[in-house]
Structure 1
Amino acid sequence: MTAGRSLGLLLGIVADGVFGDPKKGHPVALFGAAAARLERMAYRDHKIPGAVYTGALVGSVVALGAVAEWAGRRRPAVRVVATAAATWIALGGKSLANEGTLMGRSLNDGDVAAARKRLPSLCGRDPQALDTTALARATVESVAENTSDAVVAPLFWGALFGVPGLLGYRAVNTLDAMVGHRSPRYLRFGWASARLDDVVNLVPARAAAALTVAGAPVVGGSALGAWQAWQRDAAAHPSPNAGRVEAAFAGALEIRLGGRTVYAHGVEERPVLGTGRSPDAGHVTRAVELSRVVGALAGVGAAFVALITRR
């Protein structure tokens, strides 16, 4: 059983690396469309309807994953295929690297208009309010955060709980992106989604920060700087999780992140992470390289944990 899960995780990682996200019919996109339809029916400006909405959607996905996991209990091939498919669905490593690389190229070419057009694929900031430096900063921060959210965290939950862990985590993270932000519409309705996302990312975010420390020298970065920035600056970040890996990336790349952050729903003043200079296009490229290294380390670690965990 454990070997099947471990092999399935590795095959899913390879599938993500080779194929990335399908452009049409991605299960996450289909889930998002279903969640949007349900939101139109269930929305009320209150926490309780939001909690029911979140619980119903996440619970349904976990139940589907549990059925797939159960079907493979005595069929090793089914278990491997189901785990591989769920891993491929849950991961977003190649898409993240592709978007980060294209952003780096646009910034390196001085094509601010192209970079602004592409930024919404990475984060929800207002691109028209950002200059070249701010676009680079937004990209590095998004690459760092999504390395945890789209790579390390799904592998963590997949290693421990298999298909239900992979699909359930992806459902939670998708709902957080849809309704978990602090806009007037979702401040109460999205509260449960946001808090659940905080909980399921508590350990993975810190694992991602630790892997950033370990992987920093591979891209010519500073392991000591990553550790110091993580320990010194992360707690001041408004997110209990994103600040950990963002601070570690800042220290590893010897740059300064944080500061004024402009969203469509308002402006936030973020604490400064790191003590280096402001990021540029070159740092975007290195952030993508570091993300790949962290993802590779997470994949090896997840496969090992799955192999030794008896479930």
Structure 2
Amino acid sequence: MIPAWIIAAAYALDRLIGDPRWIPHPVIGMGKAITALEKRIRARTNTDKGLKRAGMLLPLLVAGGAFTASWLLLVLLYWIHPWLAAAAHVMLIATTIAAKGLRDAGREVYLHLKRRDLPGARRSLGMIVGRDTGHLGEAEIVRGTVETVAENIVDAVVSPLFYALIGGAPLALAYRAVNTLDSMVGYKNEKYIHLGWASARLDDIANFVPARLTAGLLIGAAWLFRMDAASSLRMVRRDARLHPSPNSGFPESAVAGALGIRLGGENVYHGVRSFRAYMGEPLREMNAEDITKTSRLMFAVSTTFVIWCAAAVILVGLSGGRMLW
């Protein structure tokens, strides 16, 4: 475990500045590495068996590379001066968190809707989802935004912090590499069913515990904000496992229950219709304020989890455990 203040400082840094475009982001480098590796793999083999074997190498090379490079960097900086390594640790962990970016993306859609600018809202939503957005009405735009913010509470906040707590910046960056691999090659379509299977499975495993922790924290946040915590718990128990992802259903069903809305339904991907299981009950019509409420829940969950992380580190320290850089 690393000192509590490093995790708290990394989270605070993300909340303060997010991911400025003028600062090179590790995920961009990961994406370029994945693209380059995919080209080399496909140039060497195009058989199902060959692609499946190569698919096992992708996480080892990309996630392993992210872990090793960041670990070596921190060791070098620690050798120069411990405080230099600590500062780098804070900045590296901050790059794996996207609480501010997630809120800002949702808020952009929200502001378009408040101005009655549906074309602008559709474009903004299209920047953060894979589904077709050109035909969506206000309720469906809200649904897409709420689903995206809810699902990414795990991927963009809780999971990176969870792995930072266990293994510092190197493990948090390795997690982010796995998550990036899943977003780029982890599709169950003809192109990636063999090459991306290992990345998709590893992402499911990596998010298994954080997704369930997130659901519990969302229920607690719903109670804190006087939303429907009881319904949130009930929807998690009833609907979470209906989602095609083994993890995404937990935050989505928790948010749906807390807000008294129904998520899921029909989506269109590149002109192809796809139905996703319903989460929650349609007790009322969705509106733009649900985006803001979901962001409030996200910040409550992320802040609470940071406090949990700090408490865990302090308890380990009091019990005689060694805190590693």
The TM-score range, normalised by the shorter chain, is over 0.9
Residue 69 of structure 1 deviates from its aligned partner by 5.2
Is the CA contact 1:5–1:83 (under 8 Å) kept in the aligned structure 2?
no
Normalised to the residue count of structure 1, the TM-score between the two structures is: 0.93
Aligned match for 1:58, one of 56, 63, 66:
63
Once the two structures are superposed, the pairs formed by residues 155-304 of structure 1 within 5 Å of their partners are 155-264=161-270, 266-275=272-281, 276-304=283-311
- Of the structure 1 ranges 243-252 and 105-114, higher mean CA displacement relative to structure 2 is found in 105-114
Letter of the 2:288 counterpart: A
What do residues 48-89 of structure 1 show as CA deviations (whole Å, max 9, x unaligned)? 112212221111111123324545778642452232112111
Residue 129 of structure 1 deviates from its aligned partner by 3.6
What do residues 247-293 of structure 1 show as CA deviations (whole Å, max 9, x unaligned)? 00101111110111222273321111111334221111111111111
What do residues 19-52 of structure 1 show as CA deviations (whole Å, max 9, x unaligned)? 1112132221122122212212123453211221
Is the CA contact 2:223–2:229 (under 8 Å) kept in the aligned structure 1?
yes
- Of the structure 1 ranges 148-157 and 115-124, higher mean CA displacement relative to structure 2 is found in 115-124
Decide which structure has the larger Cα Rg and report it: 2
d(CA) in 1 for partners of 2:125, 2:78: 43
In 2 relative to 1, CA 304–76 (structure 1 residues): closer, same or farther, beyond 3 Å?
farther
Is the CA contact 1:215–1:290 (under 8 Å) kept in the aligned structure 2?
yes
Is the CA contact 2:186–2:192 (under 8 Å) kept in the aligned structure 1?
yes
What do residues 167-219 of structure 1 show as CA deviations (whole Å, max 9, x unaligned)? 11111111111111233211221111111100000000011111101111333
Partner of 1:33: 32
Normalised to the residue count of structure 2, the TM-score between the two structures is: 0.89
| 2:244 counterpart SS class | coil
Letter of the 2:70 counterpart: G
Is the CA contact 1:219–1:286 (under 8 Å) kept in the aligned structure 2?
no
Partner of 1:149: 155
In 2 relative to 1, CA 133–114 (structure 1 residues): closer, same or farther, beyond 3 Å?
same
- Supply the RMSD in Å over aligned alpha carbons: 1.9
Is the CA contact 2:132–2:271 (under 8 Å) kept in the aligned structure 1?
no
| 1:143 counterpart SS class | helix
Once the two structures are superposed, the pairs formed by residues 104-119 of structure 1 within 5 Å of their partners are 104-119=110-125
| 1:128 counterpart SS class | coil
Residue 5 of structure 1 deviates from its aligned partner by 2.9
d(CA) in 2 for partners of 1:109, 1:220: 28
Is the CA contact 2:222–2:258 (under 8 Å) kept in the aligned structure 1?
yes
